Amino acid sequence: MELENCQSVDDFMSGLVKRNPGEPEFHQAVREFAESVVPFVLEHPQYQEAQILERMTEPDRIVIFRVTWEDDQNRIRANRAWRVQFNNSIGPYKGGMRFHTNVTQSVLKFLGFEQTFKNSLTGLPMGGAKGGSNFNPKGKSNNEVMRFCQSLMTELHRHIGEDTDVPAGDIGVGAREISYLFGQYKRLENRFVGTLTGKGLAFGGSLVRTEATGYGCVYFCEDMFNHVGESIRGKTVGISGSGNVAIYAAEKSVELGAKVLTLSDSSGFIHDPDGIDAEKIAFVKDLKEVRRGRINEYAEKFKSASFHEGKRPWSVPVDVAMPCATQNEVSGDEARTLLANGVKAVCEGANMPTELEGVHAFVKAGILYAPAKAANAGGVAVSGLEQSQNALRLSWSREEVDERLKTIMREIHAQCVTYGSKAKSEIVNYVDGANIAGFVKVAEAMLAYGAV
Ligand code: NDP
């Protein structure tokens, strides 16, 4: 059903589900967005007349291709890869690449859709995209990962470019993978340009990019607390994941005086009532970034900690929860458990980590709840700063990049307050705030272009 005839989110969603069968993650991301934006669009006829919402939920294009590579036993292997170029209304496409066995077109469409509005919130000129493959990097040798990345880039390079589409990392794509991808891109193109971000510092990477998503998430959390006259200092924090986002969210939380109690991976979570301090975080960095080990080793090393196999950390009472692993890792029941245990703030480092039922519970409870679009935008923001430095052929200092990151997170917070609360005294609805603020900028650009 077209939006001009539709009276509700359900009407809009039934059309979207029909047009995109079998894509539950994409449906979920659009529904969460539509619950904020449909009422706003119904009040603004210019968006309805131009069918903005229908156009915005249709990716500009999706490239799907086979990646053939050879493993260490000389067997030929084949994976599927995608690049979902969702919307380039406000700048070249920008978004990470994910390597994980559960990558599907639905997952990448949800990520590309959310990326469009997250990038809009940063205030930088970046469109939205996402890509990846069902390749599983776990247990593969460096040479296997290199051959896979080179083969993937052999096709991908013709669809990307510094003014077209600029990929970065995500789950399963860290410094090692970006280096292999960029090395092959440079070889095929015979040009040294900033077409990937998250690069090594020796070849065009930006200081603070590695830390940016985790740090930015904590800066946003602190902005929310400051807005209600409080601080993260002295609070207990529960974090899931132990990858790039989780590690640096833990590091910045500790730096700002909070006590981090949990970390996890897909095998279970560790609970350390003594707190995961800087020294213990250094152990996790080595475990995960260098040795590529499992989180249970933490409990073997530090006797204050316990390991809970196959479980998620949300039963541990904390003041602040930061889901930093993957989508749908906080169920409706787990959200209610967090609330019953007195959680004051939930700040999403991962993309769409909370099921819709949980989102509704957090908003209804009136806690400080920062959705991923706002809370984890620091990563792509510093990727945008990496692009600027590459274009200028300059490198900014750590302090300069960190200061810009803080400013960007503060400005995203301010936009959420503007669009997420009607009166100064009102509790800010950060979900509405982030969705509507992200929407308006993209929608205005689309209106200006006419029917394209
Ligand atoms: P990493 O690959 O570095 O780490 C992912 C972590 O999450 C690992 O600890 C991993 O455990 C765990 N994890 C992954 N999948 C699952 C699963 N299905 N169940 C349980 N645990 C899981 O990824 P990142 O830290 O980069 O990304 C984490 C989240 O943050 C993602 O949602 C990503 O989209 C989002 N994000 C990342 C940004 C970035 O700059 N990197 C920017 C913005 C958002 P295991 O090793 O056992 O798989």
Which whole-number Å values give the CA distances from 25 to 109, 154, 374, in the listed order?
8, 29, 19
DSSP state of 170: B
Q: Report residue 227: phi and psi, to 5°.
A: -60, -30
CB distance 242 to ligand 1 below 6 Å: yes
The residue whose CA has the least distance to atom 32 of ligand 1 is: 350
First-residue to last-residue Cα distance in the chain: 21
Considering only CA atoms, which residue is closest to atom 4 of ligand 1? 243
Pocket test residue of 25, 140, 170 for ligand 1, highest count of atoms within 8 A of CB: 170
Ligand 1, atom 48: closest residue by C-alpha:
266
Q: Please state, in angstroms and as integers, the Cα–Cα distance from residue 125 to each residue in 44, 59, 62, 120, 236, following that order.
A: 24, 18, 21, 7, 36
Report CA-CA distances (Å) from 81 to 63, 109, 171: 8, 13, 14
Q: Taking a C-beta distance cutoff of 8 angstroms, is the pair 121, 374 a contact?
A: yes
Could you list the pLDDT tens digit for every one of the 452 residues in the chain? 444 444 689 999 999 999 999 999 999 999 999 999 999 999 999 999 999 999 999 999 999 999 999 999 999 999 999 999 999 999 999 999 999 999 999 999 999 999 999 999 999 999 999 999 999 999 999 999 999 999 999 999 999 999 999 999 999 999 999 999 999 999 999 999 999 999 999 999 999 999 999 999 999 999 999 999 999 999 999 999 999 999 999 999 999 999 999 999 999 999 999 999 999 999 999 999 999 999 999 999 999 999 999 999 999 999 999 999 999 999 999 999 999 999 999 999 999 999 999 999 999 999 999 999 999 999 999 999 999 999 999 999 999 999 999 999 999 999 999 999 987 778 999 999 999 999 999 999 999 999 99
3-state secondary structure of 135: coil
Question: In the prediction, which pLDDT does 426 show?
Answer: 82
Domain coordinates of the chain in residue numbers?
1-55+428-452, 61-191, 212-370
pLDDT of residue 8: 85
Q: Quick check: do 61-191 and 212-370 share a fold? A: yes
What span, in angstroms and rounded, lies between the C-alpha atoms of 371 and 367? 12
CATH 1.10.8.60 fits 212-370, yes or no: no
Q: In CATH, what number does 1-55+428-452 get?
A: 1.10.285.10
Domain spanning 61-191: which CATH class is it, in words?
A: alpha beta
The catalytic residue positions are: 130
What pLDDT sits at residue 145?
Answer: 98
Q: What local confidence, expressed as pLDDT, does residue 144 receive?
A: 98
Cβ pair 270, 262 in contact under 8 A: yes
Q: Is 243 in the pocket of ligand 1 (CB under 6 A)?
A: yes
292: three-class secondary structure by DSSP: coil
Residue 135 CA to residue 99 CA, distance in Å, equals 5
pLDDT for residue 425? 75
The arrangement of strands across the sheet holding 61-70 comes to 61-70, 76-87, 128-133, 93-99, 165-168
Q: Which atom of ligand 1 is nearest to the CA of 351?
A: 32
How long, in residues, is the chain? 452
Integer Cα distance of 352 and 451 in angstroms: 31
